A and B are shown apart, each in its own frame.
Chain A
Amino acid sequence: MHKKLVLVLALLIAFGAISIVAETSWAQVSNLQEAIDAAPKGTERGEIDPAAPLGYLGIPGGPQINLILAFIWAIWVGWIFSTVGAFGGIMAGVGHITVYGLGNYAGTFRQTAPTINRAVTDSIRVSNQFMVGTSALISSINYYKMGRLVLPVAAALAIGSIAGSYLIPLLTAGKVSFRDYVGYFGIFVLFLGCYMLYETTPRGAAGKKKAKQAADAFESTMKKKRSGEKVDTSELGVKMTKFSLGKIAFTFYGVEFSFNPLFPIFGGFIIAAIAAFLGVGGGFMLVPFLTSVTGLPMYLSAGTSALAVLIGMITSILSYLQQGVLVHWPLIGTQLVGIVVGSMVGPYTSQYIPDKWLKRVFIVLAFYVGLDFMARGFLGKNIMTMFFG
């Protein structure tokens, strides 16, 4: 069974890769070239100097990507992945938007050559997904092989994922200006910051505390019981008791669960759409969603969500590339190496920083990045100049 699944996945990826190549290598390069040709010529802001050395995406005068800086930033991203988790993907995005100078450069073409502005924006979005996505992909395939799938849920999620991942690039590629993108990215980061802050409040922590207490209590009860004690296992596995458009009810080892099948479809759609629009993974939103909506056990939700993320990501990257988005490969490669180094350093350094402090630092960071990006995106000013002139 596993081998067949791997084969299907491999074929899917291979097929995707072929379309990527075919689409990007030729037709789309000419789109950017046309935009470069059409842009006003000169050495001023928002103009293209044909005599200038080729920079990012082969644009004359485009930013020269500093691979050393990219490497150092990626170490930071990898460090976050290994200590805090999903926030690493956000920081990868921050790197693409601000650190390498791509954002400022795209901004200069807002009025004069919007196509170049949008091309750089899309390139940032797809680069984020490539970088975080391919790494997550390898981990996901392992989980996928490990876990059993709950096919109806996986199918519902996958339908939503494909729709979200296909539609968003189709509808937005080449249409989102850099400023809008940064603004929406800011909203997402601010939302994440608020959620992280909520988790630290007594109310937010109560749920987690309660779960921990219940788990501890159950563990101590289990320790008191004799091993191998007989339990009622007359109802093994999953037994579907009701299957309709409005409700799927099933017993799981005799315990009743139910969920609305439309939830995974909409949830998959919304999560995949957000992930594709912002250029993030999406798995970190999918697993908690899946567990809380369907009550699936970890073992099953891991495999099921891995499949949905995998399908969503392939669809999204392909869809972007079909719209003509170009990628700077050495930048992606350098960042992958940086992530590896950062993830190796993380475990050795994070033990000296208490979890509580780590959380506080990232809440402050999320608020700063979120508000700053929103101000840049929607007001055209960065947060420092807004407050301090």
Chain B
Amino acid sequence: MTVATARPARPAAPDRTILLLLFFVMTSAALLVSHNGELLEQLGGLGRTLRNPIVEALMVSLFLANILFAHLWRAAPWAKALVGIGSLLFVLPMAGREDTSLLDLSIQIMIFAALALGLNIVVGLAGLLDLGYVAFFAVGAYAWGIFASPRFGEVLRYYGENPGATNAGTLAMGIVLTLVTVASLVVISRHNRRRAPTPATAWSFRLASVGLVAGVILTIRSILVLLSTRADSLANGIDPGFFWLFLALSIFAAAVVGVLIGLPVLKLKGDYLAIITLGLGEVIRVLANNLALYSAGSQGITPIKSASVPWFDAMAGALGFTEDQYYLLFLYALVLVMIGVILLVNVRLDKSRIGRAWIAIRDDEIAAQAMGVPLMQTKLIAFATGASFAGVMGMIFAAKQQFISPESFVLNQSIAILSMVILGGMGSFPGVILGAAVVTLLNLRILPGLGEATANLGIPQQVNPGQLQRLIFGAILVAMMLLRPEGLLPSRRRQLELHNDDNQEDESAQGNAGALNSASGDVYSAGFAPAKENDKAGGSR
């Protein structure tokens, strides 16, 4: 192996400001024209071509490529900002005004981008393969779905009819029990911090935890019973003004679920973690299917409200949006802000102490532990952060679809999100967003468009591209793993690491499969723990 020599400095990329602006103007015009029904009527034959689903999908893809190019190309900062802001805040909503499905599509892309960013923290940064990620999405969706739909009234009615022995006295008891157990938990854990834990403290801690659960259940149950007289007034769900409270709550709830799931399972590594998270994801789905009182079972919950923001609606009205588009536009803006916040959080976390701890754990758990990284705590933070992004997006998803059912939270969704992360490049934020956009476009526009366009060409229904999502996902996963395991836009930190490491062959950073073939076991790939050829589980040595 030759010693890695200093790489020749890359020639500076040519300045592409003009090209970027030109591309932006052209694709924006194409998008606006191709989604304007009236204009298309007037265009006649050209209009019919533009309405072809493949052409439409192409237009949308080209338009979204703007943002990618603004990120990739070397151009004047003002031009980049102009393209980004112009396309997201101006062109997309304007085209969406003519064609609501475009607004819907962009919200969907951003929801998946946020989910992929969340999973990227768990898989890409901390190296924990989570196949049940969609469970957190479901938590957020159901948290809002149950309360903002007629479901809540039904639940209250049920408790009104079956009060058991619950009354104000039980409520008081439940609250007292909760408070006492919380207090004793705090006291015991403080005690444990000062002195070594004894069996007695361990047992009393467990006892108090059981008491806490009982107290919380009692309290919630009696609150539900006491509220049951209001079942009729809540027949359409709670006031949409609670949206903001629930936005905060869904972040919190998903993070708590993330910690609760993470506490037992994060002791495990690699394959075991993958399979157990897959199992837990299924558990959540089975529960959603069977707890018919709360989740309406497989029928699903509908209609789910969105927030009502009068000034926003007024503004949308002034801009020429119709009334049934108000909530979509609102959610579009909200999701845009959320993506911004999530990206900011991601970038800050990545550069923080915790981000470095995650990467240390991903690269070598034992070495990280030896260096004083608290394993469990750091992994839990990764899990909870990823979960909280999914929770808030789940809530927005519920508000957008106005309908949720367990079908939306199946394993395939988890795998779709995983394939976004892998396709884009584990650990790389722009890459992950690109992956989300590509996969969502493929799923919602390109494949159905191809399917529609080829419907009359005599291709049998079974091999219609619109039906082959799994095949295409699978092919993406396999092809990426074989050809370019670090993704389309690998993270810069990963590249730098690879270039500065004397043990690495230089080409490995380029991600050719040849590097993976050499069984040195030293090849790094974004997000993957190094292979240990001799690490066998079967036989003890």
User: Is B truly associated with A?
Assistant: no
Contacts from A to B (Cβ < 8 Å): none
- B interface, CB within 8 angstroms of A: none
